[in-house]
Amino acid sequence: MTIFTNFLRSLLLTIIFSFVAPMLLVGGGLLLLSLSSHFPGLQELTEAIAIQIRHFLATFGSGTPLRGLFVISLTCTFVGALFDMYVYYRCQILRVGS
């Protein structure tokens, strides 16, 4: 029973971190661009980069960048959960085989 609870705990943590990581990465990037736009001469460059990131996110979100960020985060969550289940399966197979 403890193996199953360990698996569920690992799966839950993987799901949470896989969802939060893309949000922090994209949000941190946009925040960094916003802060660097206050330097003279960088405003136009950082605005152009931020606009391209928003267009990229809007592509996945049916025109809304926030929805695109959620879609990317949910996709990363799904892939992370599948990877965690695969690792658990391989661990069980290797444990039985040895």
| Interval 83-96: pLDDT, tens | 999 999 988 888 77
| Distance of alpha carbon 86 from alpha carbon 92, whole angstroms | 10
**Chain-wide mean pLDDT for the chain?**
92
Q: What is the largest CA-CA distance in the chain?
A: 63
- Asked whether residue 98 carries a pLDDT value surpassing 80, the answer given is no
Is 52 strand, coil or helix? helix
Over the stretch 37-51, which tens digit does the pLDDT of each residue have? 998 889 999 999 999
Task: Kindly state the DSSP code that residue 98 receives in the 8-state scheme.
Answer: -
Task: Kindly state the DSSP code that residue 39 receives in the 8-state scheme.
Answer: S
The encoded tokens of residue 70 equal 């959620």
